[in-house]
Each structure stands twice: as C-alpha cells, then as structure tokens.
C-alpha cells in the first residue's frame, strides 16, 4: 500500500551481505544466517530504488511530517523510532508496534571537552537516555514488533547486558516470554537487575559472550524461539534511526564525523545504513565519516583492518572492564568494516586508563555514561592527536549507555581501586585530578563545611 508521500508501507526483503542472496523476510533461518554462505542479512526496500519523477518520496514533506509528529498525542508518534516509520516498512501493520517511547534522545554540546581538544563543535548524542538506559531500545522496538506480528511466544538473546535489559522490557510490554543468556559474572549488575525486574528467564552461563552466542544459536534452532541478537536484521532497522535524529538536529546538514563504540559491531553498521539510505532518498546531501572505537583488549576489528584491510577477522579472547563491549568474535564485523571504509572513518582502540579518564571527563560535564560509551571520547582524543580530525569539524560522539548501568565501575574509579599501577603509568596526575571520592565525615555542620572548604 502506498501513502500520499509515495512510500511503500510493507515492501521489504532480506539481502545477504556476503553473497547477495535475497529471501522474503519470513523465510530467514532461525539463526538469521544465509543458507548459501553463512553471512548476515540486511533489510532491503526494493521499491525505493525504482522511483522516478512523481513516484519519488518527497524529502521536504517527510521532514515536515516527522517533526510534526513530535507534537502528536499518538504513542507511535512519540517514539523517536516509529515517527520515521516511512523508512521502516517492516510490519504488515504499524498497529503491531511495541513501543516504550524510545528514541528522541538529547544531543548535548560538550564545551569543556571541545575546548580541551581545540574543536569548535563537539556534541554527544546520548542514547543512554532511552527507556531502559541504552541504545538497544531503538532496535528492540522494531525487532520485537516483528516477533509479535509473526506470532512468536518466546524471544531470546545472548548479551553483555544491555540487549537483555531492552529485550526483557519490550517482551514484557508485548506479553511475550523472554530468555536471556549472559556470561556469568561478566555483566554489570544494573543490567542483570533489569532482566530480572522485567521477568525474563535469565541463564547466567559459565562462559563469555561469544560462548553464549554459540549456545543460543543451537537453542533457537531446536525450539520455536525468536532470536533478538543483532544478527536479526530488524534490530538494525531501529538502530539506524538515531542517524535520522542527528541529521534532523543539524537541520539536515549532517555533522562531519560520528564516533561510535564497537562491540558486536551492529550499531556502527546500522547508523551507516541510516545515513546511506537518507542520502539515497535525497534527504541529506552527504554522509559523515563514521569511526569505530574498541577497547584495547577487545579489538578484533582494529586488527583485521590493520592486518588485512578487513578481508578476514581473527576472533580474540576479549578482556576489558567495559563489559558491554567485551566481545572477541563480533557478528557484524563485515558490515562495520564497509561503513568505516565507505565513509572514510577510522577504527582504533583505546586503553583501560584512557576509557576511565574519558568517562570521568564526560561525568564532569554533567552527562555521565557507561564505560563502553566513553571509548568515543578517548578515541576522539587519539584521532585529534593524529591529525585525523580538524579543529573546524563538527563531531558527534554516540554515548550508548546510561551512567547508572555500571555504578560499580564509577565508584571504583573514584575510590582509586579500578586501575592497576601499570595501567595508570604516565596518567597518574590526570587520574588524580578527576577523582572525586566520597568522604566519611563527622555528623556536624562544621565537618561538612570543612569538606566544602577543602575542595574550594
């Protein structure tokens, strides 16, 4: 069905990223791997490419409509994902959409970091301000809605924590059962608490994230359970929408550079797709560079690009305190490599101390984020030092998770117990300058006033 903006409502298919095989959306295997080559699928809208003249979508009308919806009282219009639904024709009926009013997240100016780096225009798009505290909500609303529409009763994911929190919440809203498979002892407590709160069946498995993915792949083949990991291409459709929000915030003149953390590498892929589609549809004139930053101990894509230009990827055993991105065998690495290469971005890694410092700096600007998000600022510092980012450029950091997701990390940093001496080497003064440990003081006004004086 076509609406008056010239967009098809429900015409999509899945195209294999590796061999180009196309299948209808309902015919993907339970593990979302191509039966020909084993690679991942992308959602494709064949109608968009065939438009000419009057049949083309009208960019001006779409921009007006998307902005108008922010004033609407409809639940779907309040969602920062579904208000762009003309670019998300994945459901038979938008009445099946399950929404927690995700998206529409703030874009904050970062004046102190900008000044320190000599960059005029530095912003943070804070995806931690989503309903369950991470960017995962934007992809969960789309993929879980597909699960609901197709009649599944159970959904599942393996996770480093945020995906499971988001999935459990959206499943609960939709009245579906959810299964969470997480690496025991390797996710932040706040995220585990969310899965329990939203009623998921939660399995803590004695393995790492990559091991959880392997186990769950067998489970979804053996039972009628809908997989909601980011191999599910409908997740990426929702996760592309922050690209629309960013473009809209800059009045459809995109920033020069977007910097994204890299774990399983779906988010960078999704944002790249979002910008690419906007350019193809004439909504923007160009796309930003997209750079991906990994933690030093979990940087298989950095190595792949350095060693063989992204032709192959050697999985690693991942180690980082930024548990959200503790991933050694990222599923979407090919898609992410293409986004980096096509947009002229970079892929680099940052150390544990660099992550901790960047996180404290973002906190001191009144934002805060979880450790995995802070790799973006740490990475920008390196890109700036290497001359990859010029002072006159407009840069956006994508902050992926809320600071309360991993309060233990923050407390340990400020107590001075987070980092080993060898990790801090050369950065001790910087770290000491950022630490704000809580003090225990006598129960008198004088003692509290003395604390103020001591820090004046």
Helices and strands, number each (H, E), in the chain: 19, 13
CA dihedral 36, 38, 40, 45 (to 10 degrees): 0
Contact between 159 and ligand F0G by CB under 6 A: the answer reads yes
Residue among 78 and 289 whose Cβ is closer to ligand F0G: 289
Using an 8 Å Cβ cutoff, are 225 and 252 in contact?
A: no
Helix (H, G, I), strand (E, B) or coil at 241: helix
Q: Whose structure tokens read 């608490």?
A: 193
Residue among 126 and 424 whose Cβ is closer to ligand F0G: 126
Member of 299, 373, 376, 403 binding ligand F0G (CB under 6 A): 373
Contact between 161 and ligand F0G by CB under 6 A: the answer reads yes
Using an 8 Å Cβ cutoff, are 100 and 75 in contact?
A: no
Residue among 136 and 240 whose Cβ is closer to ligand F0G: 136
Q: Looking at 49-57, 258-266, 379-387, 423-431, which segment touches ligand F0G (CB under 6 A)?
A: 258-266
Residue among 77 and 230 whose Cβ is closer to ligand F0G: 230
What string of H, E and C letters represents the secondary structure of 336-398?
HHHHHHHHCCCEEEECHHHHHHHHHHHHHCCCCCCHHHHHHHHHHHHHHHCCCCCCCCEEEEE
Member of 262, 288, 328, 363 binding ligand F0G (CB under 6 A): 262
Contacts 24+ apart (CB under 8 A), 216-224: 216/156, 216/157, 216/158, 216/181, 217/31, 219/156, 219/179, 219/181, 220/30, 220/31, 220/156, 221/29, 221/30, 221/31, 223/154, 224/152, 224/153, 224/154
Contact between 372 and ligand F0G by CB under 6 A: the answer reads yes
Member of 241, 267, 299, 403 binding ligand F0G (CB under 6 A): 267
Strands (DSSP E) contained in 121-216 are 121-126, 154-158, 177-183, 201-205
CB of 320 to ligand F0G, least distance (A): 11
Contact between 370 and ligand F0G by CB under 6 A: the answer reads yes
Residue among 368 and 401 whose Cβ is closer to ligand F0G: 401
Member of 188, 325, 355, 358 binding ligand F0G (CB under 6 A): 325
CB of 267 to ligand F0G, least distance (A): 3
Contact between 324 and ligand F0G by CB under 6 A: the answer reads yes
Q: Looking at 41-49, 88-96, 264-272, 409-417, which segment touches ligand F0G (CB under 6 A)?
A: 264-272
CB of 163 to ligand F0G, least distance (A): 4
Member of 7, 243, 266, 278 binding ligand F0G (CB under 6 A): 266
Member of 105, 163, 329, 403 binding ligand F0G (CB under 6 A): 163
Contact between 297 and ligand F0G by CB under 6 A: the answer reads no
Q: CB-based contacts of 266: which residues, under 8 Å, 6+ apart?
A: 139, 230, 235, 236, 239, 331, 332, 335, 336
Member of 79, 134, 241, 291 binding ligand F0G (CB under 6 A): 134
Member of 34, 81, 168, 265 binding ligand F0G (CB under 6 A): 265
Rounded CA-CA distance 399/314 in Å is 27
**Number of residues engaging ligand F0G in binding (CB under 6 A):** 22
Member of 132, 138, 178, 264 binding ligand F0G (CB under 6 A): 264
Bridge partners, residue 40, by sequence: 33
Member of 147, 299, 401, 409 binding ligand F0G (CB under 6 A): 401
Using an 8 Å Cβ cutoff, are 228 and 143 in contact?
A: yes
At residue 143, φ and ψ (nearest 5 deg) are -70, -35
Strands (DSSP E) contained in 90-188 are 107-109, 121-126, 154-158, 177-183
Residue among 230 and 232 whose Cβ is closer to ligand F0G: 230
Helix (H, G, I), strand (E, B) or coil at 130: coil
Contact between 400 and ligand F0G by CB under 6 A: the answer reads yes
Contact between 194 and ligand F0G by CB under 6 A: the answer reads no
Member of 130, 162, 217, 376 binding ligand F0G (CB under 6 A): 162
Bridge partners, residue 205, by sequence: 183
CB of 167 to ligand F0G, least distance (A): 9
Contact between 263 and ligand F0G by CB under 6 A: the answer reads yes
Residue among 84 and 209 whose Cβ is closer to ligand F0G: 209
Contact between 183 and ligand F0G by CB under 6 A: the answer reads no
| Residue ranges that bind ligand F0G, judged by CB under 6 A | 134, 136, 159-163, 230, 261-267, 324-325, 370, 372-373, 400-401
């Amino acid at each position: 069905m076509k609406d008056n903006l010239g967009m098809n409502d429900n015409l999509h298919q899945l195209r294999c990223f590796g061999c180009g095989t196309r299948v209808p959306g309902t015919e993907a295997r339970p593990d979302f791997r191509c039966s020909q080559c084993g690679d991942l699928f992308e959602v494709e809208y064949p109608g968009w490419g065939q438009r000419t003249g009057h049949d083309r979508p009208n960019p001006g009308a779409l921009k007006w409509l998307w902005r108008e919806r922010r004033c609407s009282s409809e639940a779907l219009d309040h969602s920062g994902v579904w208000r762009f639904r003309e670019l998300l024709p994945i459901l038979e009926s938008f009445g099946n959409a399950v929404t927690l009013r995700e998206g529409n997240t703030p874009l904050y100016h970062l004046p102190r970091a900008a000044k320190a780096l000599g960059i005029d225009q530095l912003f943070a798009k804070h995806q931690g301000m989503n309903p369950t505290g991470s960017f995962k909500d934007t992809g969960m609303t789309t993929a879980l809605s597909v699960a609901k529409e197709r009649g599944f009763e159970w959904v599942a994911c393996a996770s480093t924590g945020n995906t499971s929190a988001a999935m459990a919440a959206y499943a609960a809203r939709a009245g579906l059962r959810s299964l969470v498979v997480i690496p025991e002892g390797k996710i932040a407590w706040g995220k585990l608490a969310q899965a329990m709160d939203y009623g998921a069946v939660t399995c803590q498995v004695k393995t790492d994230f990559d091991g959880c993915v392997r186990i769950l792949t067998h489970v979804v083949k053996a039972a009628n359970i809908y997989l909601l990991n980011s191999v599910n291409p409908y997740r990426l459709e929702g996760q592309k929408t922050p690209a629309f929000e960013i473009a809209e915030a800059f009045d459809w003149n995109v920033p020069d550079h977007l910097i994204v953390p890299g774990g399983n590498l779906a988010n960078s892929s999704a944002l790249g797709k979002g910008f690419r589609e906007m350019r193809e549809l004439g909504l923007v004139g160009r796309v930003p560079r997209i750079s991906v930053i990994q933690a030093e101990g979990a940087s298989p894509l950095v190595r792949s690009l350095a060693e063989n230009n992204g032709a192959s990827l050697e999985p690693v055993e991942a180690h980082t305190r930024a548990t959200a991105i503790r991933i050694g065998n990222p599923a979407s690495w090919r898609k992410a490599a293409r986004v980096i290469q096509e947009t002229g971005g970079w892929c680099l890694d940052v150390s544990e101390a660099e992550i901790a410092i960047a996180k404290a700096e973002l906190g001191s600007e009144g934002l805060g984020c979880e450790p995995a998000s802070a790799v973006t600022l740490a990475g920008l510092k390196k890109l700036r030092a290497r001359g990859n980012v010029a002072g006159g450029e407009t840069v956006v950091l994508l902050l992926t998770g809320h600071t309360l997701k991993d309060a233990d990390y923050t407390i340990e940093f400020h107590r001075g117990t987070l980092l080993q001496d060898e990790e801090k080497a050369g950065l001790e003064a910087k770290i000491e300058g950022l630490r704000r440990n809580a003090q225990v003081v006598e129960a008198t006004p004088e003692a509290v006033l003395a604390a103020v004086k001591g820090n004046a």
